[in-house]
Structure 1
């Protein structure tokens, strides 16, 4: 798949599940997106909470079409179908175009955690990455301190591939991370 075709497919990605819509961000999403982006509890296993100004600038960058560069995150809003509330986001980035490997991530507003929305959104998102985008392998890096994410990854049937000691600096300390992976069952491994 050419980079141009890949970008077109990613930027057009629009998913629906029983309760959710997963779609590219629009400017009206900023306020809802900032709720989980600026929440210290949501970010405590990911990164330091950015300033409001930095978070707003980063959100504006998300509105631009995804260009397909390695390590550039493609972010999608997770919206409740019943009232159109944006409750979180899911994202991916290529860690290697050559090897067709992407890293996935997610963040959800605390008010909407514990209702199965993350598993519902991520299941649909992973299915789209495998079938529509034709990603060969998905990986996720999860802090060993992040029990809810470790449980979610397990429900997604991702298998642990590695354990990295003091791998990621979060807020004020280094954390160990586990790497999980999921191979695409639809991918043709024969050339």
Structure 2
């Protein structure tokens, strides 16, 4: 695959998300993954933030900052995604029962995803962006929820909202308004625009 990253040392992605890794790889970016050693829920509580877009940016920044503290001179990407429905913030479900509860709460309603991304170098934030998508879930019967959870398996508990749109989660929706990359958890277009503006990409 063609690599468009110009720096001698690759980017660092402060995330273990395979979806985010695939997005960067498909865009021709050279990168390494270094998971951030932070407690997201504690940071969220201590921040005092209540708006989902601000929380997404805060967590993306703190992930990148923590990894940056261990990676001098490197460009570090942090990303986070929040889900809000009718003033309720959702986190990743705890087990199958939690996933079922999330799906019941989202069934027949429109929820909002905010995807935040930040770039930090030597502890200094260089770039931040948040994008939004609105997702309308179709009415789900108890039988449909059970069938989906049986088919999706562990993937249902791996993402906020208990679905992965790029997989079987697509069956749960009647309408989607927003950028594909935002839904997958990484606002790729503004990220690439920043890197390009810094002369870091060959395209």
TM-score, normalised with respect to structure 2: 0.29
Bigger helix share: 2
TM norm structure 1? 0.30
More strand by share: 1
